[in-house]
Amino acid sequence: MNSKLQRLQRRLSELGTVAIGFSGGVDSTFLVKIARDILGSRVIAITVDTLFLPRGELDEARNLARMLQVRHHIVTLNIEQYPDVVKNDKDRCYYCKQQMYRMILQVAHQQGIDVVLDASNVDDLKDYRPGWKALQDLGIISPLVEMQVTKQEIRRLSQEFHLPTSEKPANACLASRIPYGRSLSKDAITMVEKAEEVVRSYGIKGPIRVRYHETVARIEVMKTELQRVLDHAEGIVKRFKDLGFTFVTLDMQGYRTGSLNEDLQP
């Protein structure tokens, strides 16, 4: 891993001045940390605030940028005004990433920066990721992919660098909770965000997903947490119904990345 880290550091030093799309997740926090160490004040972090970003994640991004001592720009994008995003077909992520990184590029250019980085890692390419093509089309550089850095390696190095995100559960935008073909709405997004907060309030650990199937909520947690959810089933069901769900289910397969992609043809 040291050789990958050294190659990553060399790659960043070659780029000069960079802007990094910053969500405050494991990957982008790690990339900002390494870039800040190498490039100092020649790094800015840009967070795009959309309907799909949980409020807690936005607050955490602010705090992490402060901790990393990096210039941080937060810009708001009304993503719901783009029909190609709202219709939520299987290429939704392409159009969403396209609009987000167009805004990041705009902010970067306003700051006199031509190079924009994304923190995707090589494991991200194993799942269906149309957003990856949007990054390529816009000329965004993904140095962690270039150096073949895996998620596990990022977590291990984050721990060595004492980053608070080293054990942070994987997250994804809230739109990923809505099955393809169902139009995205603020009400549905708000319901799943609040529902996940409900599950988390019972001390459930690891990634939590509430998949929205109109009147049905499907909860995904790690298999080791299934029993804990069942132990609190009565309270969870009541609070979910208060949010507007009629039925509450627990997915016995447990959490897995991109479960809504399982319906797609290979």
Same structural domain for residues 116 and 248?
Answer: no
Structural domains of the chain, count: 2
Residues 156 and 218 in one domain: no
Tens of pLDDT, residues 143-158: 999 999 999 999 999 9
Task: Specify if 168 maps to a domain.
Answer: no
* Helix or strand (DSSP H, E) at 151: helix 151-160
pLDDT for 266? 45
Give pLDDT tens digits for 64-78.
999 999 999 999 999
For 232-248, what is the mean pLDDT? 98
> Is the same domain home to 136 and 11?
yes
Domain end (from 160, 191, 221): 160
pLDDT number for residue 135: 94
pLDDT tens-digit readout, 103-143? 999 999 999 999 999 999 999 888 778 888 999 999 999 99
Query: How sure is the predictor about 260, in pLDDT bands with cuts at 50, 70 and 90?
Result: low
- pLDDT for 51-65, tens place per residue? 999 999 999 999 999
62 and 151 together in one domain: yes
Return phi, psi of residue 190, to 5°.
-65, -40
Is the model's pLDDT at 179 over the cut of 60?
A: yes
pLDDT recorded at residue 172: 86
234 inside domain: yes
The pLDDT mean for the chain works out to 94
Best CA proximity match to 218, nearest among 183, 178, 185:
178
pLDDT value at position 264?
53
Long-range contacts at 219-228 (CB < 8 A, ≥ 24 apart): 219/248, 219/249, 219/250, 219/251, 220/251, 220/253, 220/254, 220/255, 220/256, 220/259, 221/250, 221/254, 221/255, 222/254, 222/255, 223/254, 223/255, 226/250, 226/252, 226/254, 228/202, 228/203, 228/204
- pLDDT above 60 (res 265): no
Domain extent, residue 124, equals 2-160
pLDDT digits (tens, 9 = 90+) for 182-209: 999 999 999 999 999 999 999 999 999 9
What does the pLDDT read at residue 262? Answer: 62
26 and 108, same domain (yes or no): yes
**Residue 22 scores a pLDDT above 60:** yes
Please report, for the domain that includes residue 223, its CATH number.
Answer: 3.30.70
21 plus 132 within the same structural domain: yes
DSSP of 177-209, one letter per residue? GS-TTSPP-HHHHHHHHHHHHHHHHTT--S-EE
pLDDT reported for residue 1: 60
- In this structure, is residue 189 part of a structural domain? yes
| CATH number reported for the structural domain that contains residue 51 in this entry | 3.40.50.620
Please answer whether residues 163 and 29 qualify as being in contact, where contact means their C-beta atoms are separated by less than 8 angstroms.
Answer: yes
**Between 86 and 266, the higher pLDDT residue:** 86
